[in-house]
């Protein structure tokens, strides 16, 4: 599908799907120009596979149990698909799905978003940081400052 016949972000037939392994690699390589100053592409691809690990949490008494933490590693897309409001649609869909998703692996206890969009924009999209938790900002090696935090 070319960028000229891409669906509009308001299209009710758009939905979330898990990419195949091949699609993930294509996505990561296609957006690498935005992050490859911080980590080589081959290292990023290996680390991305390693991130699919189990999470555990403990209660106030120190009891440990299995838990699920949803990780959204990127909200990036190729340049030709930008400025079409896909980010807003993506987060509306994610908000609905993640809130209701329970897993056989454990209870969902949170989510982690790796993004340079900035917390002000993310709050417009209803992706609010937990005030009791930390928000970390890592500057780019090339000196480009992240958007507002």
> Treating both helix axes as pointing N-terminal to C-terminal, what angle do 21-30 and 41-50 enclose, rounded to 10 degrees?
140
* Encoded tokens for 24: 């993930």
User: Could you tell me the end-to-end alpha-carbon distance of the chain, in angstroms, rounded to an integer?
Assistant: 35
pTM: 0.58
Which pLDDT does position 122 carry in this prediction? 75
The neighbour count for residue 24, using CB atoms within 10 Å, is 15
Which pLDDT does position 53 carry in this prediction? 57
Q: List the one residue out of 115, 100, 121 whose CA is nearest residue 146.
A: 115
- From residue 132, how far is each of 2, 64, 95, 129 by CA, in Å? 44, 20, 20, 9
Which pLDDT does position 116 carry in this prediction? 63
Sequential pLDDT tens for the chain (149 residues): 455 567 788 888 888 888 888 988 888 788 787 778 888 888 887 777 666 555 566 777 888 777 777 777 666 677 777 788 887 888 888 877 877 776 666 677 777 777 666 677 777 777 777 777 666 666 666 655 555 44
Which pLDDT does position 82 carry in this prediction? 79
């Amino acid at each position: 599908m070319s960028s000229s016949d891409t669906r509009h972000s308001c299209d009710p037939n758009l939905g979330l799907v898990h990419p195949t392994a091949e699609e993930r690699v294509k996505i990561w390589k296609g957006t690498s120009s935005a992050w490859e100053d911080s980590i080589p592409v081959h290292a990023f691809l290996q680390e991305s596979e390693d991130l699919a690990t189990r999470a555990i949490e403990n209660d106030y008494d120190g009891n440990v149990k299995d838990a699920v933490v949803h990780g959204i590693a990127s909200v990036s897309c190729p340049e030709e698909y930008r400025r079409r409001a896909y980010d807003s649609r993506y987060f509306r869909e994610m908000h609905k799905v993640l809130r209701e998703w329970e897993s056989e692996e454990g209870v969902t206890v949170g989510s982690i978003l790796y993004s340079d969009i900035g917390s002000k924009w993310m709050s417009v999209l209803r992706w609010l940081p937990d005030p009791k938790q930390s928000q970390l900002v890592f500057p780019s090696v090339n000196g480009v400052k992240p958007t507002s935090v």
